[in-house]
Amino acid sequence: MLGLRRHGARRVAYVDIDAHHCDGVEHAFRDDPEVLLVSTHEEGRWPRTGAITEWGAGNVFNLPVPRGFHDDDMARVREGVILPAVAAFRPDAIVMQSGSDGVLEDPQSRLALSNNAHAGVLEGLRPLAPRLMVLGGGGYNPWAVGRCWTRLWGALTRQEVPERLPAEAEAVLRGLRWQRRGGGSWVTPPEEWVTTLADPWRGGGPTEGVAERVEFLAARLRAWA
């Protein structure tokens, strides 16, 4: 963030869809009205910060999300909070922290996203970004991490998502080994983890609490913008 400032970006929007709250970034920039902070994160998960009531200097928008948060929920958050907040802020640069630990296959979070959620947020932010920095973040299932971030790289470089991965990519994914924590079992990946890049869409009816929280932040946005 400070590096972007040194390179001429005064107003920086930081959008974090990692399953954990961006506690350190918020601590550093919550009093800086020229930084916009928008975070979605699983409620109750370490570091247990990021309450929806944390406002900073009016620049902090936290959306704790419940277990089971899925792609349709994220689309609602994207359209109701993330994109309107960033558009109203008129940033010189956007930083997207795209932790992939919110996907269904991740062993830590209890969220149910697919990598379509990450791609959708990135595609939405892109036209709002005079400069765009996309970061990785958390992610504890190596297949899901590799596929998610490769998908984002493909989106950034405007490449088509293939129905089936080329043989070289499949070989990389087949070469991964992952043992569950605490000396647990070695995981045998299902075929779609090694032969595809895009997940199937994981949607459904609104997860309880999401619509109300989106509306709460949208009302704040209308007063702020």
The residues binding Zn ion (CB under 5 A) are 18-20, 99, 101, 138
The beta-strand segments (E) located in the chain are 12-16, 35-42, 60-65, 93-97, 132-135
Nearer to Zn ion, 112 or 194 (CB): 112
In angstroms, what is the minimal distance from the CB of 109 to Zn ion? 7
Nearer to Zn ion, 4 or 19 (CB): 19
The two tokens of residue 90 are 């008129």
In angstroms, what is the minimal distance from the CB of 64 to Zn ion? 14
The set of long-range contacts for 132-135, using a CB threshold of 8 Å and a minimum separation of 24, is 132/93, 132/94, 132/96, 132/156, 133/4, 133/93, 133/94, 133/95, 133/96, 134/95, 134/96, 134/98, 135/95, 135/96, 135/97, 135/98
Nearer to Zn ion, 20 or 202 (CB): 20
In angstroms, what is the minimal distance from the CB of 98 to Zn ion? 11
What one-character DSSP code corresponds to residue 81? Answer: I
The two tokens of residue 37 are 């902070």
Nearer to Zn ion, 46 or 153 (CB): 46
Nearer to Zn ion, 84 or 138 (CB): 138
In angstroms, what is the minimal distance from the CB of 87 to Zn ion? 26
Going by C-alpha positions, the residue among 199, 200, 210 that lies closest to residue 74 is 210
Q: Which amino acid is at 200?
A: P
Nearer to Zn ion, 90 or 180 (CB): 180
Residue with CB nearest Zn ion?
Answer: 138
- In whole angstroms, give the CA distance from residue 35 to residue 29: 7
In angstroms, what is the minimal distance from the CB of 19 to Zn ion? 5
- In whole angstroms, give the CA distance from residue 210 to residue 215: 9
In angstroms, what is the minimal distance from the CB of 212 to Zn ion? 24
- In whole angstroms, give the CA distance from residue 12 to residue 101: 24
